[in-house]
A and B are shown apart, each in its own frame.
Chain A
Amino acid sequence: MIEINNLSVSRDGARILHDVTLNVPPGRLAAIIGPNGAGKSTLLHCMAGLLPPDCGQVLVNSRNIHALSEARRALILSLLTQAQGTIPRLSVQDLVAFGRWPHHRGRPTATDRAITAKALARFDLDQLATRNVETLSGGQRQRAFVAMAYAQSTPWMFLDEPLAALDPKYVRDIMDRLRDMTGDKTGQRSIALVLHDLSVAARYADFCIAMKAGRIIAAGPWRDIVTSDLLSDLYDTPLRVAQLDGVPVVMGL
């Protein structure tokens, strides 16, 4: 469970989040949606403990995330962010193995190696294990980074726009696996992610956090709260939720 109470956050002196109060239940795939500049990414980074709040607090599994050291935080939550700067020249295997670093801090055990191998297999990276991350395609590279976050084995996973600029095939690759994780009987994960493609969100997410101008507009189970009216209001443009062969899609009108 994530409990966010009266959270306000500023970046570069400008207030981005205004008095956000929100509960996110565990075991869900929670999509944060909203127009550009709504503060989605800021909220995710603050939930991950990387941005200090001006006031308010974030409790993840009843622990104040900003009062914990990085080392402890990395055992509770993992983060996939949009990589900046240079892409590391690491093999896929080495990159995924770094997901275990919070657990072993430099002295990997047999368990760490086993979990790394499991993550590689789960994300279909066995064939690419020795390849340099730098030489992968965008979709493969993103899968490797998600596998690293998965190997971290934290109860919560936060992903900031994991699908940016990916082909439909890779979108499905990643979203199918994320959904499987929230449904896992053993080692179930709770996932919160920023999504831009509303049809992808409608298809995969089972919890919705709708944001606009630094505030939460609505939050709840996707089916109960996401309607054509809500989305049209949220994005200031006519949108319609429809069913296509039993799958929800969101269309601009």
Chain B
Amino acid sequence: MRLFPRALIGGLIGLFLLAGASLLVGATNLWNTQLDTGMVLAISRVPRTLAAILAGAGLALAGVVVQQSVQNRLVDPGLIGTPEAAMLGLLAVTLLAPGAALLVKMSVASVSALAGTAGFFLLARLVPRRDPMLLPLVGLIYGGILGAMALWLAWMSDLVQFMGIWQTGEFSGVLRGRYELLWIIAALAVVLFILADRITLLGLGEEYARALGLNYLQTVLLGLGCVAVTFAVVVVTVGAMPFVGLVVPNIVSRWRGDNLRRNLPWVALLGALFVLGADLLGRVVRWPYEIPAATIFAVLGAGLFLWLLHNRKVRRHG
């Protein structure tokens, strides 16, 4: 296997082109001679483009990990309480220790997101597997409960405004100095690439994974830990963005299968492409005003997902 197959290079070139467009498009006209173009690029456009790429890749990778862990392709970590749990952690630390350093807040949010995701994972073991639609619905309810708790806490403490920012993913507020945490996702992606085989094994189910010599619990915790940190970072810096973790892994799995050693780069790349594309679209449809990337993605993603559901291959028997 070549390290960079031709198709992947094509995808990367596509990402570069889109990133180039992202640098040029926005409310500010770069050709306005009265402005310092370099400054606009360095402070706003470059950070914004990088943020969309990192968040998109991270959310898509998180989707694969959760889907393999619970053996259900219709589950999206963005729709099973992970972001809500991160918000709960953020609210708690904001209330208890308002002056805490950003890294401390991040850590609390990550731990809280991990607890919330692990809670869903335990729930998933109790849900019968016959109907694959059941688990995502359970996830929606579970996420709804966590979200309601967070909203109540925010309302009681006059922090509802924060909740609004965390709930809707968009990139217009991304500036130099306010997105760098997202680079953690790049480090997590490396961890997941190393774990790729193990996460594929998780998808075979606990019994096969353990029979093939995998420390199941340790692997699940590592994987869900990566998911939790990704969501904590994304929620804090740009806000939650559902459907990325659902749509992208499903497209890659249908197109290229589940061997993650080969396909994780594709998941990351397509996640980045889609989110950057959604952000770019949000910038141009009502120029000079902006529509949040999460809103654009929810509309397009829901459509894509319905198409995927409708085109589900009928499993052959006998």
Contacts and interface: CB of A to CB of B under 8 A. Distances in A.
Interface in A41-59: 45, 48-50
A98 B212 contact: yes
A94 B259 contact: yes
Interface residues of A, number: 40
A73 B210 CA distance: 9
A contact face: mostly helix, strand, loop, or mixed:
loop
A116 interface: no
Given A69-B215, A84-B129, A98 B200 contact: yes
Interface in B187-246: 197, 200-201, 203-205, 207-208, 210-216
B204 A134 contact: no
B73 interface: yes
Contact of A90 (B132, B210, B211, B259): B259
B316 A135 contact: yes
A75 interface: yes
Interface in B55-72: 71-72
Contacts of B286: none
B215 A89 contact: no
B197 A88 contact: no
Contacts, number: 89
B210 A50 contact: yes
Q: Which of B71, B200, B203, B211 has the most chain A CB atoms closer than 10 A to its own CB?
A: B211
B contact face: mostly helix, strand, loop, or mixed:
loop
Nearest to B318: A138
Contact of A85 (B71, B210, B254, B318): B71
B218 to A, nearest CB: 9
B258 A90 contact: yes
Interface residues of B, number: 30
Interface stretch (A20-28, A101-109, A182-190): A101-109
Contacts of A81: 207-208, 211
A84 B205 contact: yes
A125 to B, nearest CB: 17
Interface string A74-85: 110111010111
Contacts of A5: none
Interface of B: 71-73, 129, 132, 197, 200-201, 203-205, 207-208, 210-216, 253-254, 257-259, 313, 315-318
Given A86-B72, A137-B318, 8 more contacts: A45-B207, A48-B211, A50-B207, A70-B213, A71-B215, A90-B257, A102-B213, A134-B315
By Cβ-Cβ distance, the 10 closest A-B pairs, closest first, are A74-B213, A85-B71, A102-B213, A79-B211, A89-B257, A89-B258, A71-B213, A81-B207, A94-B259, A106-B197
